Structure 1
C-alpha cells in the first residue's frame, strides 16, 4: 500500500512539475529557473531534480505533454463532432483558449529543435500532424473547407494569439475571433 501511495505521489509531483513548466515556459520562456518551476509546482527543488535530472529532461517532458495534449484535443474533436468542419472549429477554439500560440512563440526555436531530436516527441508530433491532415482531407471531401487551405494553414491557425481586455469575457472574445477565422477558410459552397 505504501509503495502504491509513493508511486501515486511521485506521479502527482511529476505531473505538477510538468504543468508548472508548461505555464512558466509559455509565460517566461524556457530559461526560467528550475527553482521557479519547483516553487510554482509546489514542490522542493530536490523533488524536481529527482524527477528531471536537468533542464533538457524537463523541457522534453513539457514538449511531450504539450504535443500529447494537442493530439488528444484533435482526436477528441474528430471523434466527438458530427463532421470535419465542426471538429476543425472545435479544435481551433480549444487551441486559442489554451494559448497554444503563446506557448509556441515563447519556446521557439529552442523547443522545436529539441522536439525534432527526441524520438518520443517526434512520434507524438507526427500524430498531431496526421490528425490535422485527416481532418483537412475530410473537410475538403465534405466541401466545407476552402480547397486552397491545407494542414499547414490549420497548424498556423492553431497558434493564433488572441488578446482580450480585462473587462472582456475571454471565452466569448476568443469564440468571436475563431468564428471570424473560420469564416475566412470556409468554402463558398457552404456559407
Structure 2
C-alpha cells in the first residue's frame, strides 16, 4: 500500500476503498468509460467526494490498475507456494484470478489503461513482478513434466488474454459455462504429451510485449 493511501484518515480511506471497489465492478462490466457519477453512486459517496480522492478518470484508472496488479501478484505467488504442483498453481492462476482478468480486459480494450500500465512506474514494476511469477510457474510446470515443452510464458499469456474476453452471450449462466468449458479445453491443450505439434517456436514474454 502506498504512503498516499496509508496516510489517509480512516473515513477517507474507507471512501477511497469503496470508490476503487465500485470502479473495479463497473470497469469489469462496461469498461473504463462508465460515467463517474455511476461509480460514485455505486460506492455510496457523493461525486464531490469521488473527485477529491481522484481528480480525474485517469487517476481512478491508475488506482484500479495498481490495486488489481498488487492482488494478482499476491495471488500468483500464493498459488505457487501453496499448491502441491506447479501445474495446479498454473490452473489456479488461470481459473481464479478475477483481478488479473480485469487488468487484461482494461489493457486490451482501453488505450488510457494501456498508457497507465506503460507509463506509471508503480504499475510497471508490479507488471514485471507478475510476469516473473508467471514465468516461474510455467517453467516449473514444464520441469515437472506436466506442461508441454513447446510453449513459453508468452503463449500462456496470450491464451489467458483470449479466455478473459467477454463472451457474446446474454445469459450470464450460459456465458460462465462457456468460459469454464473453454478454459478446460485450453488447459487440456497445454498438458504435456498432447500430441499435436505447434507451428513455429514458443512465444516468450518479450515476444508478446510483456
Q: TM-score, normalised by structure 1?
A: 0.83
Provide structure 2 residue ranges, at least 5 long, that are not aligned to the other structure.
1-7, 195-210
Q: Is the 8 A contact 2:66 2:123 kept in 1?
A: yes
Q: CA deviation at 1:79?
A: 1.1
Q: Is the 8 A contact 1:97 1:174 kept in 2?
A: no
Structure with a larger share of its residues in helix: 1
What is the CA deviation profile of residues 94-117 of structure 1, one whole-angstrom value per residue up to 9, with x for unaligned ones?
A: 13797545444443x321111111
- Pick aligned residue for 2:182 from 170, 177, 182: 177
What is the CA deviation profile of residues 148-180 of structure 1, one whole-angstrom value per residue up to 9, with x for unaligned ones?
A: 21111222233313647445594x654443222
Q: TM-score, normalised by structure 2?
A: 0.76
Measure the CA separation in 2 of the matches of 1:102 and 1:63: 11
Measure the CA separation in 2 of the matches of 1:76 and 1:50: 35
Q: CA deviation at 1:48?
A: 0.8
Sort the Cα spacing of 1:19 and 1:97 in 2 relative to 1 into closer, same or farther, 3 A. Answer: closer
Q: CA RMSD in A?
A: 2.4
- 1:16 counterpart = 2:21: no
Provide structure 1 residue ranges, at least 5 long, that are not aligned to the other structure.
1-5
Output aligned runs, 1:1-191, within 5 Å: 7-95=9-97, 99-100=101-102, 101-107=104-110, 109-159=111-161, 160-161=163-164, 163=167, 165-168=171-174, 170=176, 174-188=179-193
The answer to which structure, 1 or 2, has the higher relative contact order (CA under 8 A, 6+ apart) is 1
Measure the CA separation in 1 of the matches of 2:105 and 2:39: 18
Q: CA deviation at 1:22?
A: 1.5
